[in-house]
Amino acid sequence: MTLEVLQTATGHETTIGGSHRDAGTTNTVNRAIALLNSFEPEDPRLNLTQLAERTGLSKSTALRMLNTLRGAGLVARSGNTYTLGERLVMLAAIASGAGESGPTEQLRETAMPFLQDLFATTGQTVHLAVLEGTDVLYLEKLFGHRRTKTPSRVGARCPAISTAVGKAILAHSSGVVLDNVTRNLRPITAYTLASPPAVIHALRRVQNEGFALDNQEAAIGLTCGAAPILTRRDGCVAAVSVAGSLTDFDPRRAAPAIRRTAVNIGLALDAAQVDPSQGSIIKACSA
């Protein structure tokens, strides 16, 4: 979203004064934005040919732009593939409220001890996420030496309906949010929910059980279980999940621990008694 807004803004700037230099600068910025926007949660690693094809740039131009982005820490290279750089991860953390005592940072700090306990109990990858539009935004990710490969990263987004954390939040979301989700279904794998009736049926089940599952819907071979974090003031504010390999992790066996973690985080947020003048923790489910 930020990149697209920037692109629109720079597009307007080219009309001011009609400067060729301004137009050239804007064109360069737009190319950089196009390269960064080529990466998706399902395609976090791309080679030069793929990036050139997705942006319509020649390989030589794409390579020159990528080298500049690498120098700024916005893109990283490993072998023949490129990924988004650590600088972007840091900027995403700033945008989500890290580094200041804002609602999102309060959520992260309050949840962290409980997330650490959950990781110690399960030994699997633990996530904390909120809803942004029709996507989930990952605020925290805890894992160990034997972590399962997942498409999630702190500061990254993923279509909510393809994840357990997303379903846990969507099950408590408004009709407006659900309408947006069902109108913009983007299947990632053959297992991702791809029709409005399937989505509604799945979310009703999550509502009834208080627990959501992802069975290879975000990535092949990956399974996940999640529970919503509920507060008295804002209702559903986020969700917590545990993810692992389909071959050695059963999320239903971890369901009691996941639910207990979500409940404890919600109670801790209520106990924090956030000053109303400073805004609520984060009302992800009614946006």
Q: At 179, which CATH number? A: 3.30.450.40
What's the number of domains the chain is made of?
Answer: 2
Claim to verify: residue 124 and residue 260 sit in the same structural domain = yes
Claim to verify: residue 195 and residue 239 sit in the same structural domain = yes
* Residue 69 to residues 1, 28, 73, 204, Cα–Cα distance (Å): 19, 12, 6, 44
- Output the pLDDT for position 14: 34
pTM score above 0.75: no
- Output the pLDDT for position 78: 87
- Output the pLDDT for position 205: 92
User: Of 70, 89, 108, which residue is a domain's last?
Assistant: 89
User: ∠ CA(281), CA(156), CA(201), 5° rounding?
Assistant: 75
User: Of 44, 59, 89, which residue is a domain's last?
Assistant: 89
In a domain, 95, yes or no: no
User: Whose CA is closest to 241, among 252, 254, 230, 227?
Assistant: 227
In a domain, 78, yes or no: yes
H helix or E strand, kind and range, residue 33: helix 20-37
In a domain, 68, yes or no: yes
Claim to verify: residue 72 and residue 148 sit in the same structural domain = no
Range of the domain at 235: 100-286
Claim to verify: residue 144 and residue 235 sit in the same structural domain = yes
* Unique residue bearing structure tokens 């700033």: 94
Handedness of CA 156, 157, 163, 164 (dihedral sign): positive
User: Of 89, 119, 148, which residue is a domain's last?
Assistant: 89
Claim to verify: residue 220 and residue 266 sit in the same structural domain = yes
- Output the pLDDT for position 211: 95
In a domain, 94, yes or no: no
Claim to verify: residue 114 and residue 254 sit in the same structural domain = yes
In a domain, 116, yes or no: yes
User: ∠ CA(117), CA(121), CA(125), 5° rounding?
Assistant: 85
What are the pLDDT tens digits along the chain (287 aa)?
Answer: 333 333 333 343 333 344 445 556 678 888 999 999 888 766 788 999 999 999 999 999 999 999 999 999 999 998 889 998 888 877 776 665 544 556 677 888 899 999 999 999 999 999 999 998 888 888 899 888 776 778 788 878 888 899 999 999 999 988 888 888 888 888 888 999 888 999 999 999 998 999 999 999 888 998 999 999 998 888 899 999 999 998 989 999 999 999 999 999 999 998 886 433 344 444 444 44
* Residue 83 to residues 16, 51, 282, Cα–Cα distance (Å): 34, 11, 30
- Output the pLDDT for position 94: 67
- Output the pLDDT for position 187: 85
- Output the pLDDT for position 67: 93
Claim to verify: residue 148 and residue 264 sit in the same structural domain = yes
